[in-house]
Amino acid sequence: MSNRFPAKELEELKKILSVPQMITITTHHRPDGDAMGSSLALYNYLIRKGHGVIVVTPSECPEFLSWLPGNDVVIDFEKREDAAMRTIAVSTLVFCLDFNWLSRLEKLEQPVRNSNAIKVLIDHHLEPEPAFDHAFSYTDACSTCELIYQFIDALGDKKMIDKNIAECIYTGIMTDTNSFRYATMRSETHRIIADLMDAGAENYKIHEYVYDTWLENRLRLLGYSLKEKLKVLTEYNTAYIALSQAELDMFNFKAGDTEGIVNYALSIKGVRLAALFTEREGEIKISFRSKDDFSVKDLSSKYFQGGGHKNASGGKSNESLDATVQKFLGILPHYQSQLAG
């Protein structure tokens, strides 16, 4: 398979990694399957290479990813700030995975920004911040997990990909491609998946852990969102759902429970733009999805402090839920011709 990493940078990293290092791996706030999968794949690999490694997340990992090998020793900054700060303070290397602006670390941003450790970015989002000593940023990759596979391969260690590493990588590729169906899925990605299965990844088990372990509340929240909250604006080929904190509380909301809801809005025939607004801890989190050429990355970065990919982006708002939705509705006429498709 092709090696996308520049030889000189790879050699520098190889040299650094040829002696034991103290390494922190971190990823974005509200980590998803690719964030946790890539962090724990790299964790399991670097542990096997004899380094001291700790994964620090800015916020908690959703329950449906808790089975990932190594997740039991991850430090959640919100729960164990002191331990996280100590870890970063003694690190010689910090890997930043599946995000490209340090602001996506939220409260972890300053500790990482101020650290003297060598900072390495491995990511697939558009327009990275120039804050890294080594930046491996490839927007054509379907997931950061795909890049982790290629990174390990490029370091000459493909044979070290064991069942644990393979299952972590499989998870991120699966979740970021919505089960291998997005346009970002290339034939090479399918070949990587085959390699991961050969390395011991039990594909059916991973699908079950991630997609078929819902608590009843989560399913009822989905039902409520679709029956009561879904709004379809045919003139803009747009559908959206807005959920208040009180509504989430009715369903005993836990991290990850709204994952995937936005995809249902996008699945309506003719809909090219879908949005999910959720009110959490006084802030509105927004998920955008689109079909074809309509770029939700532009919309989210221009109006909602966000970013991501052309067809999958996120953002936030510090206004009320209602005001945020009104703002969104006010923006749509500007995009009417693009949305008409």
Per CB under 6 A, residues contacting ligand 5GP are 28, 32, 101, 104, 125, 287, 306-309, 312-316
Q: How far is the CB of 189 from ligand 5GP (least distance, A)?
A: 16
In this chain, which stretch among 173-181, 207-215, 232-240, 312-320 interacts with Mn ion, using CB under 5 A? 173-181
Backbone phi, psi, residue 297, to 5°: -60, -45
Show the tokens assigned to 15: 């040299």
Backbone phi, psi, residue 308, to 5°: 135, -120
Q: How far is the CB of 284 from ligand 5GP (least distance, A)?
A: 11
Q: Give the one entry of Mn ion, ligand 5GP, none that residue 153 binds, where binding means its C-beta sits below a cut-off of 5 to 8 angstroms depending on kind.
A: none
Are 102 and 109 a contacting pair, CB within 8 Å? yes
Q: By C-beta, is 111 or 306 nearer to ligand 5GP?
A: 306
Q: By C-beta, is 134 or 289 nearer to ligand 5GP?
A: 289
Residues of span 12-41 touching Mn ion by CB under 5 A: 34
**Residue 35 to residue 28: CA distance in whole angstroms:** 7
Q: By C-beta, is 32 or 146 nearer to ligand 5GP?
A: 32
By beta-carbon distance, which residue lies closest to ligand 5GP? 314
Q: Give the one entry of ligand 5GP, Mn ion, none that residue 146 binds, where binding means its C-beta sits below a cut-off of 5 to 8 angstroms depending on kind.
A: none
Residues 6 or more apart in contact with residue 262 via CB below 8 angstroms: 241, 274, 275, 276, 287, 288, 289
Q: How far is the CB of 262 from ligand 5GP (least distance, A)?
A: 7
Q: How far is the CB of 74 from ligand 5GP (least distance, A)?
A: 18
The gap from C-alpha 244 to its chain's centroid, in whole angstroms, comes to 23
- Strand order of the sheet with strand 273-280? 231-233, 238-243, 273-280, 283-290, 312-317, 307-308
Residue 259 binds Mn ion, judged by CB under 5 A: no
Q: Which member of 176, 247, 257, 259 binds Mn ion (CB under 5 A)?
A: 176
Length of the chain, in residues: 341
Q: Give the one entry of Mn ion, ligand 5GP, none that residue 119 binds, where binding means its C-beta sits below a cut-off of 5 to 8 angstroms depending on kind.
A: none
Torsion of CA 15, 162, 142, 61, to 10 degrees: -100
Q: Give the one entry of ligand 5GP, Mn ion, none that residue 307 binds, where binding means its C-beta sits below a cut-off of 5 to 8 angstroms depending on kind.
A: ligand 5GP
Residues of span 53-112 touching Mn ion by CB under 5 A: 98
Q: How far is the CB of 109 from Mn ion (least distance, A)?
A: 19
Q: How far is the CB of 300 from ligand 5GP (least distance, A)?
A: 7
**Residue 212 to residue 223: CA distance in whole angstroms:** 16
Q: Give the one entry of ligand 5GP, Mn ion, none that residue 53 binds, where binding means its C-beta sits below a cut-off of 5 to 8 angstroms depending on kind.
A: none
Q: By C-beta, is 32 or 279 nearer to ligand 5GP?
A: 32
Q: By C-beta, is 98 or 279 nearer to Mn ion?
A: 98
Using DSSP, state whether 138 is helix, strand or coil: coil
Torsion of CA 172, 203, 263, 97, to 10 degrees: 0
**Residue 24 to residue 156: CA distance in whole angstroms:** 22
Q: Where are the alpha helices (DSSP H) in the chain?
A: 7-16, 33-48, 81-90, 109-114, 144-154, 163-176, 187-198, 203-211, 216-224, 245-250, 261-266, 296-303, 321-331, 336-340
Q: Residues interacting with Mn ion, by CB under 5 A?
A: 34, 98, 143-144, 176
